[in-house]
Every structure is written in C-alpha cells, then in structure tokens.
C-alpha cells in the first residue's frame, strides 16, 4: 500500500504569501456602507478600476498585502497557463481552467488561515493554491494520481468537489463543529452561478443562518454553467440577494478586482470569527476560458459574449496599480516571473516522481479496517493482476 | 460482546436505543445528535426523549427540515472532529439526502486517502407492519448496502439495538442504522445496563435446526421465528439467522448454516428486484451451491411501492404463513 506524502507547504517558496497576516490593521470600517451604496446604485463594489486607478483610497489594504495578493495571482495564473500546455502534451488530465478568475479565487481564499476550512469545487484550483495546497499535490490531483487526494495534514482543505453544490452543507457542519469545539475557525465554500440553482446551496444557506454557522459562502458568478448563460440559469439578476431569503448578509463585488474581493471576504471572515454568522459573497467575473480543456466554447458562445472581459483582467489591473503607485518596478516584476517559473518547474519535477498506484490500491481507504468482503476482493485483484 | 455491565433491565427497543444514545453522549463529548424534532420533542418515536434536557441544546438539537442538509451538515461535523448521530425521521424520507450519502458519506475516507474519515451514524426508522401513511414504511437498505464505504446495521432486539448502536457510534466509519418501526415497542427483553457493544459483522443464530436455514434481519426476524416455530411443530428443524449487519456481512455464519442444512430461505420486506436478499442468494450460489438440496427461495415485498392500504398491507409485508410456505417448498423440492 502506498502511503501518501505529507505537505510540502513549508518548502514552498510562495507559502509565505499564501495567507496575509490576519493581524493586519483593519481597513474595513467603511466597507459595509461602501458596498451597500454600490449595490443600491446597481454597481459592483470595487476598489480599483480596470486601468488600475484607485476608486476607494480609504479602503485599500497596505502595500505589502497588495503585493502579496499580486504575487499570489501571478503564481496561480502561471499554474493555469502551464496546466494548459501540459494537457496539450498529454502530461495533465482534464483540467477546468480558471484563468481570468484569479481575483475571485485569490482574494477570497487568501483571507483564510490554515486553521480555517476550504471547500473548493473543480474550478477552484487557484483558491486551493492561494490557501496553501502545495503545487506538486495539486498537479497530482489533476493527473488523477492518489497523491493528489491525500490532503496535507497541516491544512483543512478537501479534494476538489465534482458534484455541484454538495459540499455546501459540509461547510456548515465543519463551521458548527469548530464552534462546538470552542475554536473561532471559519469554513469557506465555493460555488458557481449554476451551482446556486441546486437545492443543497439553499439548504446550506438556510442551515447556516438558522444555526449561526461561521461560514463564508463564495458564489463565483462567471457567466456560464458549461453552455448555459446565467440569464438562462435563473431570472434573478443579483445572486447575492439570495442571501436575503435566509436572513444573512449578501455582498456583490467586482470579481476581477482582487483588492475588492479580499476586502469584502476579510470582513466576512472576521464577522464569522466574531460569531456573527455566515455571509454570501457574489463575485461577478467571467469564465474567459473553456469549461474544461476538453470543451469547445465556440459551440455555445460568441466573441460578443466575451467582449470587454479581457480589459477587466484582474492581474494586469493590479499590476498597473502597483506600477503606478511605485510599489512594484518592471525589474521586480521580471524577477517575480523567474521565481514563479522556477517554483513551478521544481514542483512539476516532484509531481513527475510520484509513483503510479498499484491495482490493489483501489480498495484502500474504504473503511478503517477492510471488511471480509474487501479482503477477499483484494486477494482476487492480487491473484488476477499480480500486483 | 464487550461490556462493563452491571445489571439487567427490561426495555423496549426504543428505550434501549435511547439508553445507548444517552450513554454515547455521556461517554464522548464529540457525540452530537440532531435531526427533525429530536430536541425539544425527543423524536417522533421518542428515541431521543429527554436527551436535550440532559445534555443541552448544543449536543442535541433540532435542524431545519431538509434531509440533504441534515446529512450534509453531519458530514461536515464529522470531518471537523465531531461524532454526528443524525436522525432521518423515516427511512422513506432519506431520499432527498441520498446525494449526500452516495456522493459523499461513503467516499470521504477513500477520496482523501484517509486524511479525513466520517465517524457518522445515521439512524432511520424503517419498515412496515404498523399501518403508517404513504412512504413511511419503506425498506431502502439495499441502496445503502450497495454504497461503498457505508456500513449497514439493522437490529432486531432491544439488547442488540443497544450494543450495535454503541458499536456504530464508536465505529470510525459511517454507519446507517435502521430501526424497524414495528419493533420499537412491541418487543421487550432484559437489556444489560451500562456500556457494552456488539461487533458489527457478526450474525446471530436465533434458533438452531438441521433442515432449513432462514436468513433475515430487522423486522422480519420475529416473522421468521413464528414460521420456524410452526415448522418445528411439524418436525422440521429451522435455523433462523439474524444477520444484524448487512455491511459487513457475516458470510461465515450464514454459509456454515446453509452447508449444514442444504436449504435456504431469505426473508426481507424490501421490494423484490435487486434487494439485499438477492445478494445473499448470490453469495450462497457462489460459495455453497454444492451443499444445496433445493433452490434458494426469497420471501420479499413486491416491485411496487409499499402499499398505504391498511387492509392489504399484509399481502406486501411477508407474513409467517408465506415464510412457512417457502420452508415447505424447499423441504418438498
Ligand atoms: C450535481 C451535478 N450535476 C451536473 C454536473 C455536471 N456539470 C459539471 S460543471 C457544470 C456546470 C456548473 O456551472 P457553475 O456552477 O456555474 O460553475 P462553473 O463551472 O461555471 O465554475 C455541470 C452541469 C455536476 N458536476 N454535478
């Protein structure tokens, strides 16, 4: 039986920027009012405009946090881009890309500490990386190696969920369990606009409200559920308002502005930590890329559908802001690129070295002790497959 | 049976279950009980009676009415270090939660390579014989037994119910615990006070006999016993085996008996096609066919929903007469 390896987070060069220090000075006092105002005016809550211009200077996190978020977005984007290439060369399984949604994933997940829980969907590799899931393991998961399923002991993250919405109630239970055990740890779960049609989404929001669970629910509205646009998914036009039905706060935010997503998520995480209950955050973004790397979006959407979204790119937006503010130089940016590439290539080499599973391993980890039935089936595999 | 037992007390099955839950709450602060109406009211069958008053509303609590939410939230609680004991009010209302069961409950250990496991118990009253309304009498155990990673326990006596439930709660893996509604208050026996467990995966030989093996569990055990007594009166030796757990299945006990008697009758009240009775029949065919002196006979419900029509309920739910007929059939083959 092959035992999975433990986390390599400590050796990961990006680990230090995985989660900004939760003890940072709280810049959020004016937040709630600002995003309530944006919502009332039918606008998205935003801290920097697509060209990098600051729209809410009083709410900006400090420069170190801005740089940490930038670094994380670059790192996460690099993974998405390399995954595509690896897929094309047969070195990656089917992968759901998230390129263009980095602000939605990094700004939210980076608001957690490793004591908090992360319940990611298949789309949320970026969030998992930002939370601290080591790259070799993440690669292994998408290469369908069991090494990718063995979640690190020092993090509270689950393997990417494939059935839509089903993990939402788990987050409620995890949050409740934390509270019952006297901790202040919170649980964050992700979902898509399509997923928010599922019953589990609604049950979870209702349970979390009724039981005051410390949950932060991230609803990434990326415009599409495979081929179904949001307007065909639901008549609702503001998905954050779904929270109203359950008596919990709902926040709508520009999902391509990492400072904004980080801001509202930090506030929601802090609320939850204080015991004030759950929040639903809708990050309005766009799935620029195909549903998975095996999907052909030209069958269901046009260039007109995609128009304008490249200009809202979250990475170039923050980069422009940092360069203009003197927080980043072109030279530092080039150095960052080299670091990120080196980190990824080292991780890839590590992932390449994971051994393939043996046939009998498919029967491992069903129960703590195999039943007599499983023991006999193992003997059968060993006899037939000789491994 | 492992035990720290003091004295015996006569109890109904529901009292034995209540006793087991109270002991579990007392022994392990991680145990939490929740579901619809389990708190203030103590459950529609009173299985959780008095537990909230004794252990507080943090440990024993009412949830909103949503079965997927109950099981799904329990999964999260189990992940995060608690021992959730969820109640589904009737097994026939488990269906909204089946996604959680099939997609997650049985898979967590496997899909995290044992980084996480779910020490969760789901209790659900099941089965007919008490003239309940539509969908309250279903026997969905085969669906669960067909779900990898989930154990399935179905006790038939108060003593077993207590020992098996404590074992289920202490088990590191998810366990479905089906309680025959018919048996909740109709049977009483002396139950050890204090803590004891009955290991999952050990069948019980209820009556001994050399001619026919009747294999059954839960609400059908007493039906099989009645048929066995009638056959015994005609000189036919019937060995009744109560499986107690479907997963893990004690094939050793049931095969040893079939090898001795050469005849097998399987009794359940679940629908006929694809039921767990078919699994038992297949195990016998694979492992003991050379011992058989007659084809295996299944006595089951039908491939129709359990009838909400009181006057004909007994047509669906196996009756001792049907079991006796099956015993005659294998004897006369
Ligand atoms: C319960 C369930 N039904 C259907 C599917 C197939 N499926 C996979 S992704 C998807 C669309 C999901 O869209 P959305 O929730 O908006 O998330 P996105 O993929 O856009 O991130 C569907 C229908 C599934 N994985 N799970």
Per-residue pLDDT reduced to its tens digit, B239-264: 999 999 999 999 999 999 999 999 99
Chain A interface includes B77 (CB < 8 A): yes
Characterise A233 by phi-psi region: left (phi > 0), alpha (psi -120 to 50), beta (else). alpha
Distance, in Å, from the CA atom of B41 to the CA atom of A297, rounded to the nearest integer, reads: 54
| Cα separation, A37 vs A168, whole angstroms | 29
Instruction: Give the CATH number, domain containing residue B66.
Output: 3.40.50.970
Answer yes or no: do A158 and B73 touch at CB < 8 A.
no
Domain co-membership, A365 together with A269? no
- Under 8 Å between Cβ of B200 and B167: yes
Q: Is residue A3 part of a domain?
A: no
Residues A174, A83 share a domain: yes
| B187, B13 contact by CB (below 8 A) | yes
Asked if B196 and B169 count as a contact pair (C-beta separation under 8 A), the reply is no
Q: Are residues B31 and B179 in the same domain?
A: yes
Do both B175 and B232 map to the same domain?
no
Which of B139, B167, B192 lies at the terminal end of a domain, its last residue? B192
Is B1 part of any domain?
no
A172: its two tokens: 């409620």
* Per-residue pLDDT at B1: 58
- DSSP string spanning A177-220? HHHHTT----EEEEEETTGGGSHHHHHHHHHHHHTT--EEEEEE
Name the helix (H) or strand (E) containing A261.
helix A258-273
Condensed to tens digits (0 to 9), the pLDDT of residues B25-40 reads 999 999 999 999 999 9
Q: Which residues contact A383 (CB under 8 A, 6 or more apart)?
A: none
Taking only the tens place, the pLDDT of each residue in B159-201 is 999 999 999 999 999 999 999 999 999 999 999 999 999 999 9
A254, β-bridge pairs: A284
Both tokens of B110, joined, read 């496997």
Distance of CA B292 to the CA centre of its chain: 28
B317 and B222 share one domain: yes
Average pLDDT in the B74-80 region? Answer: 97
* Residue B66 neighbours by CB under 8 Å, 6+ apart: A203, A206, A207, B96
The answer to whether B223 and B318 are in contact (CB under 8 A) is yes
Could you list the active site residues of B? 136
DSSP states along A291-354: SSTT--GGGT--HHHHTTSGGG-HHHHHHHHHHHTTS--HHHHHHHHHHHHHHHHHHHHHHHTS
Strand segments (E) across B282-329: 297-299
Please report which confidence band the pLDDT of residue A5 belongs to, taking 50, 70 and 90 as the band edges. Answer: very low
Q: Which three-class secondary structure state does DSSP give residue B273?
A: coil
Q: How far is CA A46 from CA A31, A49, A72, in A?
A: 11, 7, 19
Tokens 């179905």 belong to B154
Q: Based on the domain organization, do B157 and B294 belong to the same domain?
A: no
Tokens 């927080």 sit on residue: A327
- Among candidate residues A189, A211, A186, the one with its CA nearest the CA of residue A200: A189
Residues A363 and A336 in one domain: no
Residues of chain A with pLDDT > 90, as a percent, come to 82
Same domain, B174 and B220: no
Give me the mean pLDDT over the B43-66 stretch. 96
B295 inside domain: yes
When pLDDT is averaged across residues A181-206 and rounded to a whole number, the result is 97
Domain contains B146: yes
Residues B92 and B177 in one domain: yes
Our answer on whether the CB atom of A162 is closer than 6 Å to any ligand 1 atom is yes
Boundary (domain end) residue, out of B192, B220, B238:
B192
In chain A, % of residues over pLDDT 70? 92
pLDDT for A319 beyond 90: yes
> For the domain that residue B288 is a member of, what is the CATH number?
3.40.50.920
Query: Does residue A346 sit in the same domain as residue A364?
Result: no
> Which is nearest to A71 in space by CA: A18, A113, A109?
A18
Adjacent-strand bridge partners of A253 = A45, A283
Cα(B47)–Cα(A7) distance, rounded to whole angstroms?
A: 44
Is residue B136 one of the residues assigned to a domain? yes
Ligand 1 pocket member A224 (CB < 6 A): yes
One domain, residues A370 and A277:
no
Same domain, B124 and B209: no
B319 pLDDT higher than 90: yes
Q: How far is the CA of A98 from the centre of ligand 1 (A)?
A: 14
* Structural contact between residues B108 and B240, judged by C-beta atoms closer than 8 angstroms: no
Q: Are residues B135 and B275 in the same domain?
A: no
- Spatial CA neighbour of B55 closest among B85, B80, B78: B85
pLDDT at A25: 39
Take residue A320 and report the two structure tokens written for it. Answer: 């422009």
Cβ of residue B102 closer than 8 Å to a chain A Cβ: no
A161 lines ligand 1 (CB under 6 A): no
d(CA B50, CA B40): 8
Q: At a CB cut-off of 8 Å and minimum separation 6, what does B155 contact?
A: B13, B161, B164, B165, B177, B179, B218, B244
Three-class secondary structure of residue B26 per DSSP: helix
> How many structural domains does chain B have?
2
Spacing of C-alpha A47 from chain mean position: 20
Number of separate domains in chain A: 2
The rounded Cα B9 to chain-centroid distance in angstroms is: 23
Quick check: A11 pLDDT over 70?
no
**pLDDT, position B3:** 58
Average pLDDT over residues B254-276: 97
CB contact under 8 Å between B69 and A372, yes or no, is no
End-to-end CA distance of chain B: 39
Same domain, A40 and A102: yes
What average pLDDT does range B311-330 have in this prediction? 94
CA B165 – CA A325 distance, rounded (Å):
65
Nearest-CA residue for atom 13 of ligand 1: A225
Residues A304 and A387 in one domain: no
**Residue B33 in domain:** yes
ω into B248 cis (within 30 of 0): yes
Count other C-beta atoms under 10 Å from residue B260's C-beta. 16
- Do A281 and A204 lie in one domain? The reply is yes
User: Is A26 inside a domain boundary?
Assistant: no
- For residue A61, being part of any structural domain is answered with yes
C-alpha to C-alpha distance for A55 and B67, rounded to whole angstroms: 45
In a domain, A93, yes or no: yes
Whether B234 is covered by a domain: the verdict is yes
β-sheet bridge partners, residue A226: none
Q: Are residues B160 and B231 in the same domain?
A: no
Q: What letter does residue A19 receive in the DSSP assignment?
A: S
Phi/psi for B58 (5° steps) reads: -80, -30
For residue B133, pLDDT beyond 90: no
| Beta-sheet pairing, B297-299 with B238-242 | unpaired
> Which pair of structure tokens corresponds to residue B153?
């326990």
Q: What is the pTM of this model?
A: 0.89
The model's pLDDT over B278-295, given as tens digits with 9 standing for 90+, comes to 999 999 999 999 999 999
Do A299 and A198 lie in a common domain? yes
Q: What is the ipTM of this complex?
A: 0.85
Mean pLDDT of A130-135: 98
Instruction: Kindly state whether residue A221 falls inside one of the protein's structural domains.
Output: yes
Residue A12 has pLDDT above 90, yes or no: no
Position A23 in a domain: no
Give yes or no: residues B222 and B319 share one domain. Answer: yes
**C-alpha distance from residue B213 to each of A15, A93, A353, B242, B284 (Å):** 63, 51, 55, 11, 11
* DSSP β-ladder status, A156-157 and B175-180: unpaired
Q: How confident is the model at residue A201 (pLDDT cuts 50, 70, 90)?
A: very high
Residue of A117, A127, A284 lying closest to A215 (CA atoms): A117
A228-229 and A224-225 strand pairing: antiparallel
pLDDT value of residue A37: 82
Maximum pairwise Cα distance, chain B: 60
- CB-nearest to B173 from A167, A203, A368 is A368
Say if the Cβ atoms of B80 and A178 lie within 8 Å: yes
Q: Provide the pLDDT for residue B4.
A: 62
* Shared domain check, A325 and A257: yes
- The answer to whether A148 faces chain B, any CB pair under 8 Å, is no
Residues A101 and A198 in one domain: yes
Spatial distance between the Cα atoms of A361 and A194, rounded to a whole number of angstroms? 35
Q: How far apart are CA A103 and CA A11, in angstroms?
A: 25
Q: What is the CATH number of the domain that holds A43?
A: 3.40.50.970
Average pLDDT, chain B: 96
Q: Which tokens in the block code for residue A45?
A: 């809550």
Average pLDDT, chain A: 91
The per-residue pLDDT for A30 is 57
User: B237 in a domain, yes or no?
Assistant: yes
Min CA distance, B301 vs chain A (Å)? 27
A174 in any annotated domain: yes
Range of the domain at B287: 204-332
In tens, the pLDDT along B206-220 reads 999 999 999 999 999
List of residues 6+ apart from A239 with CB closer than 8 A: A193, A196, A219, A221, A230, A252, A282
- Kindly list the residues from chain B whose CB atom is less than 8 angstroms away from the CB atom of residue A178: 80
- Domain final residue, candidates B144, B159, B192: B192
Whether A269 is in a domain gets the answer yes
Which residues fall within 8 angstroms of residue A286, CB to CB, at 6 or more apart?
A: A100, A101, A222, A223, A256, A306, A309, A312
Q: Say if residue A181's pLDDT is above 70.
A: yes
CA of B195 to the centre of ligand 1 (A): 47
Q: Are B181 and B241 found together in one domain?
A: no
Instruction: Tell me, yes or no, whether B271 lies in a domain.
Output: yes
A228 and A372 co-located in one domain = no
Alpha-carbon gap: A22 to the closest alpha carbon of chain B (Å):
22
In terms of residue numbers, what domain contains A371? 358-387
């Amino acid at each position: 039986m092959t035992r999975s390896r433990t986390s390599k987070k400590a050796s990961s060069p990006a680990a230090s920027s995985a989660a900004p220090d939760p003890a940072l000075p709280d810049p959020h006092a004016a937040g709630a009012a600002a995003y309530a105002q944006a919502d009332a005016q039918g606008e998205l809550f935003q801290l920097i405009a697509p060209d990098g211009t600051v729209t809410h200077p009083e709410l900006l996190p400090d420069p170190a946090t801005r740089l940490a978020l930038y670094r994380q977005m670059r790192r996460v984007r690099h993974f998405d881009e390399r995954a595509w290439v690896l897929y094309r060369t047969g070195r990656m399984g089917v992968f759901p890309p998230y390129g263009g949604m980095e602000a939605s994933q990094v700004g939210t997940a980076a608001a957690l500490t490793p004591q908090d829980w992360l319940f990611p969907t298949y789309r949320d590799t970026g969030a998992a990386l930002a939370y601290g899931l080591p790259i070799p393991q993440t690669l292994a998961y998408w290469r369908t190696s069991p090494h990718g399923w063995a979640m690190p002991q020092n993090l509270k993250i689950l393997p990417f969920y494939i059935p839509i919405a089903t993990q939402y109630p788990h987050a409620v239970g995890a949050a409740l369990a934390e509270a019952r055990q006297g901790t202040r740890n919170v649980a964050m779960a992700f979902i898509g606009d399509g997923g928010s049609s599922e019953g589990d989404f609604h049950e979870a929001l209702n349970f979390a409200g009724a039981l005051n669970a410390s949950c932060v629910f991230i609803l990434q509205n990326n415009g599409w559920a495979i081929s179904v646009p949001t307007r065909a998914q639901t008549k609702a036009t503001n998905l954050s308002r779904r929270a109203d039905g359950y008596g919990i706060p709902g926040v709508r935010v520009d999902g391509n502005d990492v400072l904004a997503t980080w801001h509202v998520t930090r506030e929601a995480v802090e609320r939850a930590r204080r015991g004030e209950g759950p929040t639903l955050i809708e990050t309005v973004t766009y799935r620029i890329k195909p549903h998975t790397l095996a999907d052909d979006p030209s069958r269901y959407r046009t260039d007109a559908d995609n128009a304008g979204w490249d200009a809202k790119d979250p990475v170039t937006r923050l980069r422009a802001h940092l360069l203009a503010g003197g927080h980043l130089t072109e030279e530092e940016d080039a150095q960052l690129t080299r670091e990120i590439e080196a980190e990824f290539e080292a991780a890839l080499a590590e992932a390449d070295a994971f051994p393939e599973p043996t046939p009998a391993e498919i029967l491992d980890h069903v129960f703590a002790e195999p039943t007599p039935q499983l023991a006999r089936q193992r003997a059968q595999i060993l006899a037939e497959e000789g491994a | 049976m492992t035990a720290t037992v003091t004295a015996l007390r006569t109890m109904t099955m529901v009292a034995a279950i209540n006793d087991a839950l109270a002991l579990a709450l007392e022994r392990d602060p991680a145990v939490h009980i929740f579901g619809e109406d389990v708190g203030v009211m103590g459950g529609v069958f009173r299985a959780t009676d008095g537990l909230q008053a004794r252990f507080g509303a943090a440990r024993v609590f009412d949830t909103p009415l949503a079965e997927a939410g109950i099981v799904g939230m329990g999964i999260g609680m189990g992940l995060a270090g608690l021992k959730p004991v969820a109640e589904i009010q009737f097994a026939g209302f488990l269906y909204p939660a089946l996604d959680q069961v099939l997609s997650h409950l049985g898979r967590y250990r496997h899909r995290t390579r044992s980084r996480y496991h779910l020490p969760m118990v789901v209790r659900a009253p099941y089965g007919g014989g008490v003239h309940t309304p539509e969908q309250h009498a279903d026997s969905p155990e085969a669906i669960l037994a067909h779900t990898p990673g989930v154990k399935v326990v179905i006790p038939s006596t108060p003593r077993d119910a207590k020992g098996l439930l404590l074992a289920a709660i202490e088990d590191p893996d998810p366990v479905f615990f089906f309680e025959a509604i018919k048996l909740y208050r109709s049977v009483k026996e002396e139950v050890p006070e204090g803590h004891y467990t009955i290991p999952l995966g050990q069948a019980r030989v209820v009556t001994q006999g050399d001619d026919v093996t009747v294999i059954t569990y839960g609400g059908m055990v007493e039906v099989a016993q009645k048929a066995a007594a009638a056959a015994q009166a005609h000189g036919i030796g019937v060995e009744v085996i109560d499986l107690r757990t479907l997963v893990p299945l004690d094939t050793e006990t049931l095969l040893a008996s079939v090898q001795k008697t050469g005849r097998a009758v399987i009794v359940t009240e679940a629908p006929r096609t694809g039921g767990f009775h078919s699994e038992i029949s297949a195990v016998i065919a694979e492992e003991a066919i050379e011992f058989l002196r007659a084809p295996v006979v299944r006595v089951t419900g039908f491939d129709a929903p359990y009838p909400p029509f009181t006057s004909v309920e007994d047509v669906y739910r196996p009756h001792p007469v049907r079991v006796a007929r099956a015993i005659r059939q294998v004897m006369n083959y």
